[in-house]
Amino acid sequence: MIELNFSNKQKPMAVVKRNDPVKVFRAALAQQLNVVAQELNGKTLTIERRRYHHGKPTTIAVPVRKWYWADDGEYYLILRYSSQKVKIRGYESIRCGATLGHVQATLNRVVEALDDQDEDVLVALDDAFERTRWKKFTNVQS
């Protein structure tokens, strides 16, 4: 018989650290503020994306997706964390006003709410963060 020190211990799974959701959301808000500022100046904000054509990488300029839109003379805004809507107090959108300046002011107000640790915004952001999480092990029985 072979004499070794046996064990049933398994190698732990790799844990990929996720960025802080507040920092990610704050960066997305800053990007949307840039989109509004560029649109006020008559320009479109673009970002570089990598695409492959016949196996070779190329970069193309793609316009940033706007979180806001106009309907019946008013601007509306949907806050997003990744692909999820950030529903503050359960509402999907925010009515901003009649101009892009109102959209800019609304985005700035959300940034201020993050700085002030506003409970409504943090709860909505945490809810959106949880909806982005991969739930592979939620149904595993121990």
- Identify the three-state secondary structure at position 33: helix
Going through 3-98 in order, the beta strands assigned E by DSSP cover 46-53, 56-63, 68-71, 74-77, 80-81, 84-85, 94-97
pLDDT tens readout for residues 110-120:
999 999 999 99
pLDDT tens readout for residues 53-103:
899 999 999 999 999 999 999 999 999 998 899 999 999 999 999 999 999
- pTM tops 0.75, yes or no: yes
